[in-house]
């Protein structure tokens, strides 16, 4: 809590409709976010029990600087991933962090299973378990609207919810946060669904007095200036992340048509520039961020003859344009937006959905699966067929869709085609075919996200790829990011929040940490996650990379399988040794 030396945890038991609040001094040294959420997961998870069993927890945590400093906007969720069976962590912006802060909590732990579909209302004054039976089956947009109309507090609340994919336990269903943001990856939507938890609304007017206004506001303004008046973050506002499409395409790193290609002949037609010129209608921020990186694109769709149009607005980013655009061979911005809309309404993770469909397209062509399985003519570039397929995934309409609803790891067990299944560490590939550091980074990252350690960034900035340097970078960057994510600082602001700035902000709100404390935190969080993974049976021994990634050139040419395997071995040896030292020091 601001100005206090404890983490205020709200425990919610859905089975018994009871809540409990604990002020945890012992968690204070993990600050918040990923650190606190990982510790709370370690405490509350059930080893050897299905990730979707009602006893498994959902944890959401914010940090001591959340909302009250610029671009400290994220909430971090942890859970056991039904997608990978191991550590699940996902981050979301929007208004959630502000709402949790204003309700007076630092972390929320949800366990149990509601008897009937339920939505939770959490405020500083009450916790209510409300009937959501009539909402079951509604899409993301309608669910949001119903709660907005039923509950008070416009502008000050956060509404998070699942769609049909989450209800039907698709292992890559997401939780939508305030319409435009998501707990996207690793299937937290299914964990909500398994608990009969359709949605949560959070808000509050908790009194949060400022201990030292002068010091706080001085520091706030300094950071605000750095954010708004330097070029540290300008690109996120202008074209936003979609600027990557052109850049990656020009260096043979844009995964295209299930990575049969790393350049796309229509890249210019779906580039950030084209989106900005043709479709961009506004930009939106998460609360507390003056940047406004959320790009909203609009397109009109003819629903009947006689000039009958509807207009659709959805948010777009690089990862979506990659997974639901280039990877599926989609040639226009309007069509990409159309596919994004379908994914949004169903409540699916965009990256995994795109990668699964790209695999299915190739598997259908190769005859591993048939048209009777897919119920759609999946073919690169065929937008309307993909739209149909997305709905089929969410509805799990037949055995094929039921199987691919568990992701490619399960799909290849049944149908084969693992050589072109774009998986890294059990999770579907992100949009950067840049080289070894990316490939290694997503594989070994705690949550198998490209953002764990940003290997793609190393690939793109290195003058020469050296094995030792790659290993060092991937480990050090992931540890450094553990500090940022424990503070819930948006990773887009990583250049603004260097260590001296982080310490200044912490000191301004009375947390007198030193650089050594941050190093200690980085290691603790990094290895706590590894400990959790080990307890859940995770191992990279005998790990096999998919053949496809070696067949298609990266910006560094074709990758050599032996070298990547060697890098993986080097990584494992080094981290295992560090892990032993860390465990001994505990």
Partner 1 sequence: MPKVLRADNMNKCLGCFTCMLTCAAVNHNNHNLAKSSIKVKTRGGLQSKFAATICVACKEPACAEACPTNALVKRPGGGVKLIEEKCIACEKCVAACIVGSIHMDYDRKIPIVCKHCGACVRMCPHNCLSMEEVSE
Which residues form the interface with partner 1 (CB under 8 A)? Answer: 2, 67-68, 70, 98, 101-102, 144-145, 148, 154-156, 178-180, 204-210, 213, 216-217, 220, 224, 228, 283-292, 313
- Any idea which residue has 């999770």 for tokens? 427
Contacts of 352 by beta carbon, 8 Å cutoff, 6+ apart: 83, 172, 185, 323, 407, 427, 428
Minimum CB distance to partner 1 smaller for 136 or for 216: 216
Specify the residue, 6 or 220, whose C-beta has the smaller distance to partner 1.
220
DSSP 552: S
Task: Tell me how far, at minimum, the Cβ of 467 lies from partner 1, in Å.
Answer: 43
Beta bridge partners of 296: 282, 315
Closest separation in Å from C-beta 59 to partner 1? 23
Smallest distance, partner 1 to C-beta of residue 395, A: 25
Name the minimum Å distance from CB 529 to partner 1: 30
Torsion of CA 316, 319, 320, 323, to 10 degrees: 160
Q: Which is nearer to partner 1, 283 or 414 (CB)?
A: 283
Decide if 11 contacts 109 (C-beta within 8 A).
Answer: yes
**CB-nearer residue toward partner 1: 206 or 535:** 206
Q: Residue 495 Cβ, how far from partner 1 at the closest point, in Å? A: 17
Return the number of the residue (161 or 447) whose C-beta is nearest partner 1: 161
Q: What are phi and psi of 394, to 5 degrees?
A: -65, -35
Task: Compute and round to an integer the Cα radius of gyration of the chain.
Answer: 23
Nearest residue (CB) to partner 1, 2 versus 200: 2
Q: What b/e sequence results for 331-344 when a residue is b if at least 16 CB atoms lie within 10 Å of its CB, and e otherwise?
A: bbbbbbbbbbbbbb
* Residue with tokens 């599926």, as numbered in its chain: 328
Q: Is the dihedral of CA 341, 345, 349, 353 positive or negative?
A: negative
Smallest distance from partner 1 to CB 356, Å = 28
Give least dist CB 301 to partner 1, A. 16
Rounded to whole angstroms, how far apart are CA atoms 4 and 120?
27
DSSP assignment letter at 441: H
Q: How far is the CB of 94 from partner 1 (least distance, A)?
A: 8
Nearest to 522 by CA among 474, 572, 485, 470: 485
Q: Which residues of 364-373 are buried (b: 16+ CB within 10 A; e: fewer)?
A: beeebbeeeb
- Of 419, 465, 453, 437, the residue nearest 522 (C-alpha): 453
Q: With respect to partner 1, which residue has the nearer C-beta, 152 or 537? A: 152
For residue 37, the minimal CB distance to partner 1 (Å) is 21
To partner 1, the closest distance from the beta carbon of 119 in angstroms equals 17
CB of 304 to partner 1, least distance (A): 23
8 A C-beta contact, residue 373 and residue 367? no
Give the C-alpha separation, 320 to 272, whole Å: 12
Decide: 180 and 73 in contact? Cβ < 8 Å.
Answer: no
Closer of 67 and 434 to partner 1 (Cβ): 67
Instruction: Give 216's contacts (C-beta < 8 A, 6+ positions apart).
Output: 68, 210, 508, 509
Tell the smallest beta-carbon distance from residue 555 to partner 1 (Å). 34
Considering beta carbons, is residue 48 or 154 the nearer one to partner 1?
154
Smaller CB distance to partner 1: residue 178 or 335? 178
Across 416-565, the runs of DSSP E, i.e. the strands, are: 423-424, 427-428
Instruction: Check residue 557 and report its DSSP letter.
Output: B
Of 397, 294, 276, the C-alpha closest to 346 is 397
Nearest to 536 by CA among 192, 170, 186, 111: 186
First to last CA, the chain: 26
Q: Which is nearer to partner 1, 17 or 504 (CB)?
A: 504
505 vs 532 by CB, closer to partner 1: 505
């Amino acid at each position: 809590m601001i100005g206090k030396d404890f983490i205020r945890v709200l425990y919610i038991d859905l089975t018994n409709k009871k809540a409990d609040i604990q002020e945890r001094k012992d968690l204070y040294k993990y600050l918040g976010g990923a650190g606190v959420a990982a510790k709370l997961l370690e405490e509350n998870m059930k080893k050897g029990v299905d990730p979707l069993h009602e006893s498994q927890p959902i944890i959401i945590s914010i940090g001591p600087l959340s909302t009250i400093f610029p671009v400290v906007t994220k909430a971090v969720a942890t859970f056991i991933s039904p997608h990978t069976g191991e550590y699940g962590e996902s981050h979301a912006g929007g208004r959630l962090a502000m709402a949790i802060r204003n309700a007076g909590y630092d972390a929320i732990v949800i366990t149990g299973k509601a008897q009937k579909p339920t939505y939770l209302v959490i405020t500083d004054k009450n916790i209510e378990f409300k009937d959501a039976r009539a909402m079951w089956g509604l899409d993301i947009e309608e669910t949001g609207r119903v709660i907005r109309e039923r509950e008070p507090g416009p502008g000050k609340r956060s509404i998070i919810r699942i769609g049909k994919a989450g209800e039907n336990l698709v292992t890559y269903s997401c939780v939508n946060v305030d319409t435009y943001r998501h707990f996207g990856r690793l299937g937290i939507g299914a964990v909500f669904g398994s608990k009969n938890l359709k949605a949560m609304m959070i808000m509050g007017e908790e009194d949060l007095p400022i201990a030292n206004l002068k010091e706080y506001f001085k520091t706030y303004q300094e950071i605000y200036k750095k954010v708004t008046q330097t070029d540290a973050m300008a690109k996120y506002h202008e074209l936003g992340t979609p600027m990557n499409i052109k850049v990656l395409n020009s260096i043979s790193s844009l995964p295209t048509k299930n990575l049969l290609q790393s350049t796309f002949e229509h890249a210019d037609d779906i580039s950030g520039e084209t989106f900005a010129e043709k479709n961009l209608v506004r930009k939106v921020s998460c609360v507390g961020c003056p940047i406004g990186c959320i790009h909203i694109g609009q397109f009109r769709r003819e629903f009947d003859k006689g000039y009958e149009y509807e207009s659709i607005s959805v948010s777009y980013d690089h990862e979506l344009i990659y997974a639901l655009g280039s990877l599926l061979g989609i040639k226009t911005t309007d069509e990409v937006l159309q596919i994004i809309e379908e994914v949004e309404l169903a409540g699916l993770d965009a990256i995994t959905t795109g990668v699964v469909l790209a695999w299915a397209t190739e598997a259908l062509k190769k005859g591993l699966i048939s048209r009777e399985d897919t119920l759609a003519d999946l073919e690169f570039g065929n937008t309307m067929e993909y739209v149909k397929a997305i709905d089929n995934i969410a509805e799990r309409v037949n055995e094929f869709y039921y199987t691919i609803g568990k992701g490619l790891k399960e799909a290849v067990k049944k149908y084969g085609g693992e050589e072109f299944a774009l998986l890294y560490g059990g999770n579907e590939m992100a949009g950067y075919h840049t080289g070894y550091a990316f490939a290694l980074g997503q594989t070994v990252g705690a949550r198998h996200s490209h953002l764990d350690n940003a290997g793609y960034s190393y690939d793109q900035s290195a003058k020469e790829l050296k094995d030792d340097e790659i290993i060092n970078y991937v480990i050090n960057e992931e540890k450094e990011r553990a500090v940022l994510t424990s503070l819930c600082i948006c990773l887009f602001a990583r250049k603004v929040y260097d260590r001296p700035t982080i310490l200044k902000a912490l000191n301004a709100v009375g947390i007198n940490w030193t650089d050594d404390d941050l190093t200690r935190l980085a290691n603790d969080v990094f290895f706590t996650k590894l400990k959790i993974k080990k307890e859940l049976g995770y191992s990279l021994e005998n790990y096999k990379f998919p053949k496809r990634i070696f067949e298609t050139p990266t910006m560094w040419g074709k990758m050599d399988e032996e070298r990547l395997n060697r890098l993986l071995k080097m990584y494992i040896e080094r981290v295992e040794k560090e892990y032993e030292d860390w465990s001994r020091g505990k």
